[in-house]
Structure 1
Amino acid sequence: MGHIRRRVKNYTILILSISEKEDRIDGAGAIRVRNGEEVAVLSLPSLSHVDPEQQMDRFARLQDFLTNDLVLFMNYSQAMPLMDKLYHSLAQTFFTNATMDVLPILEEAIPVSENPESFREKVEEVCREGPMVERARKVHVLYEKAAEKLFSYQEGYPYWVSSLPREEERYLAENLPAHRKTLRKALLAWAFGLHYFYLGHPKRNILYLLTLGGCFLWMFSDLFRMPLYVDLANEEIAEKVYERAPKIGSPPPRENGAEKEKMVEK
């Protein structure tokens, strides 16, 4: 799968001990993360130097731990063929979990971190051999910091922002935050009858004021619909900013905001 250009909160970090000479996985260590917090640990220090029955038992434990989770690798290009090889040799199937290469995310975050040199040293440290579970925990800490630094701006914007090529996504990262509409400010504007001005619809706001908020019916209706209106406004902003972005590929598919709003009103 490569790497996902958004912050994921539920995943499993899998660190493998690889014998390059024999082209096999000797051991594995993993931690399961939910909502950004570690919730479970698996340590399998030996997957190869055991008898076949023990090997099958440990492989089953690894399968049960990973379930259908998104799996984060540090050595993606080397690990994936070996995981397929391991699964095929022991279960006559292939490794089918969604995967993510976390190393490019960590490397991308180095220059924008608060202390680039220190962050670089920590990334290099987790790339070296060592206790697998300990390395997985360090990767977890580094990934959370990197994802927060790189992708926190995406909150409140449509999902397609994270599907863009790196250059286009970085353009939006630089230009979207200053235009973000928030529910808190929208509700404050609503209290003064100015929320449509805030959300970018001045003509509608004039009509709203002239009708006294539709004799207050429109006013109370807007109060309950405000979260939707804020999402629609942010979607329109993202589309306008994206139109100015240097294009690498074709535009991503996205819903039309006006049509979405009409469907809700019906």
Structure 2
Amino acid sequence: MRRLLTLLLLLPGLALAADGIPPLPTDLGNADLPAMQRGFTAFQHYCAGCHSTHYQRYNQVATDLQLSEAQLQSSIMTDAKPFELMENAMSKKEAVRWFGMAPPDLTLVARVRGEAWLYRFLHGFYHDPKRPFGVNNLQYPYVAMPHVLQDLQGLAEPIYKTETVDGRSRQKVVGVGAAQGGQLSAEAYDRLVRDLVSYLAYTAEPMKQQRQHIGLWVMAFLLLFLFLAWMLKKEYWKDVH
């Protein structure tokens, strides 16, 4: 019985690992300050050239993430001022010429797509010579963007499965192999992905930590009010009962 329970607990992780993408970390998207700081730096260096987060301001992010002025200035990839919105470095006209469409703003992507989706997306690139940039994505097939972290992760080859449709056999991509040729180890790249997800989770809901902190005080007040209301009811009805 104990072995059966252990197997049932491990099944979700085994299912995710079967396609070559690491199982979802239990602390994915946690509000860990060092992780969000590293994620901000990584986002600015690898993502902000094409993607904006224009519902955020540089100085507010610096305040929330406790970044020094030097850290903030070194992370601004454009001529923007610290009080300005976080726009990308590429104009929409250039983006359409290069990619066929303007890359989306990523301020709310963690709420729209989910943190698990982002984690799998950043782990899901594989070699596909038929695509314009030579890569495809297991989580988001035919995505119209290059693998901007390829130098760090390396490039994975797809895992195929043969299936028969209408009497014809065809190859279907069901997973990705181990990435080769990257500057980072698999563990270091996974940490980078988790940092990016943590930062994007913050941008999607900057007030989350404060909201949760206030929520604890609200619950404490309601419990106290419930106790006082019960005592008052008991006092009013003592002569009736």
TM range (shorter): under 0.3
Q: Tell me: higher relative CO, structure 1 or 2? Use CA pairs within 8 A at least 6 residues apart.
A: 2
Structure-1-length-normalised TM-score: 0.21
Structure-2-length-normalised TM-score: 0.23
